Amino acid sequence: MTLSRILGDRRLWILLAVIGVILAIRATGLSGHLSLDTLAAHRETLVALVARHALLAGLAYVAVYTAAVAFSLPGAVFLTLAGGFLFGAALGTALTVIGATLGATLVFLFARAIFGADALDRLGATAQKLAEGIRRNAASYLLVLRLVPLFPFWLVNLVPAFVGVRLPVYVLTTLFGILPGTAVFSLAGAGLGDVLAVGGAFEVRSVLTPQILGALLGLAALSLAAIPLKARFARA
């Protein structure tokens, strides 16, 4: 393939543009501001904005979360907590699931359109093992992987694009699979109000709010569920 033909391939320019955006965002140090300290410092302003412009705030949150997932930026856990804090456990869960599903779908579509058939080989042995399970039963396997993170989220976003998974299957397993874990973190986020209101004088009784206790129990349940699932996948 000649240089002119390579440079004329729009997939190359799309790939370079995406890489450029990721590098630019990381260079700004934006991820360093995604912390509870930042949320505490701007708590009143953010809450007031959500109260005055609920629809726009919800759309902006979904857009930010979608971009974070699509560009594999760190801080997803913080954003999920912030969603629960700003919008409440139920609405925060819904908005986060929408944003995460949209972001994961963009990764899926991008990978399928840009990378070649040999892309799976370049991802290593872990991706090959993941691909084998997906080929056996895509819907069941992907749903389990979304429910319990046995593999990195970004890898589960990419591999299905290289093994022929249909888009509806990918979207639905992502949406329903991430729902329990998202609900747990959103519930914890909804309990952050009392914690952040304490300021610097954190006490155990102020941190262990009913919402956060419920979230911890939920995480414990998901962790216990992962034990037999990991053993089953290890034997597969």
Amino acid at 25: I
pLDDT above 80: residue 6? no
Quick one: pLDDT at residue 125? 77
Higher per-residue confidence, 127 vs 196: 127
Quick one: pLDDT at residue 155? 81
Instruction: In the chain, count H helices and then E strands.
Output: 16, 0
What is the rounded CA–CA span in Å between residue 57 and residue 35?
A: 19
Quick one: pLDDT at residue 105? 94
What is the rounded CA–CA span in Å between residue 108 and residue 106?
A: 5
Quick one: pLDDT at residue 207? 42
83: left (phi over 0), alpha (psi -120 to 50) or beta: alpha
Tell whether 29 is covered by a domain: no
Tell whether 22 is covered by a domain: no
What is the rounded CA–CA span in Å between residue 201 and residue 84?
A: 23
Q: How many domains does the chain have?
A: 1
Token pair in block for residue 99: 């944003």
Q: Which of these, 83, 116, 47, 56, lies nearest to 185 by C-alpha position?
A: 83
**pLDDT tens digits for range 88-130:** 989 999 999 999 999 999 989 888 877 755 667 677 777 787 8
Higher per-residue confidence, 202 vs 168: 168
Give the phi and the psi of residue 166 in degrees, each rounded to 5: -75, 145
Tell whether 167 is covered by a domain: yes
Q: Which of these, 37, 82, 48, 53, lies nearest to 199 by C-alpha position?
A: 37
**pLDDT tens digits for range 72-85:** 777 788 888 889 98
Tell whether 231 is covered by a domain: yes
CA dist 4 to 8, 16, 17, 66, 115, Å? 6, 16, 19, 34, 19
Tell whether 25 is covered by a domain: no
| Mean per-residue pLDDT, 165-173 | 91
- What integer best gives the mean pLDDT of the chain? 74
Amino acid at 152: P
Token pair in block for residue 150: 């046995």
For residue 23, give the 3-state DSSP assignment: helix
29: left (phi over 0), alpha (psi -120 to 50) or beta: left
Of 14-23, 44-53, 94-103, the poorest mean pLDDT is in: 14-23
Tell whether 21 is covered by a domain: no
pLDDT above 90: residue 170? yes
147 CB contacts (<8 Å, ≥6 apart)? 177, 180, 181, 222, 225
What is the rounded CA–CA span in Å between residue 63 and residue 70?
A: 10
| Mean per-residue pLDDT, 57-65 | 92
Quick one: pLDDT at residue 13? 45
Higher per-residue confidence, 24 vs 134: 134
Quick one: pLDDT at residue 3? 41
pLDDT above 80: residue 214? no
Share of the chain above pLDDT 90, in %: 17
Across 2-11, 96-105, 168-177, which has the greatest mean pLDDT? 96-105
Quick one: pLDDT at residue 162? 84
Tell whether 46 is covered by a domain: yes
Quick one: pLDDT at residue 8? 47
Quick one: pLDDT at residue 206? 44
Q: Which of these, 127, 147, 42, 126, lies nearest to 85 by C-alpha position?
A: 42
What is the rounded CA–CA span in Å between residue 101 and residue 173?
A: 9
Domain carrying residue 50:
34-235
Quick one: pLDDT at residue 200? 45
Tell whether 178 is covered by a domain: yes
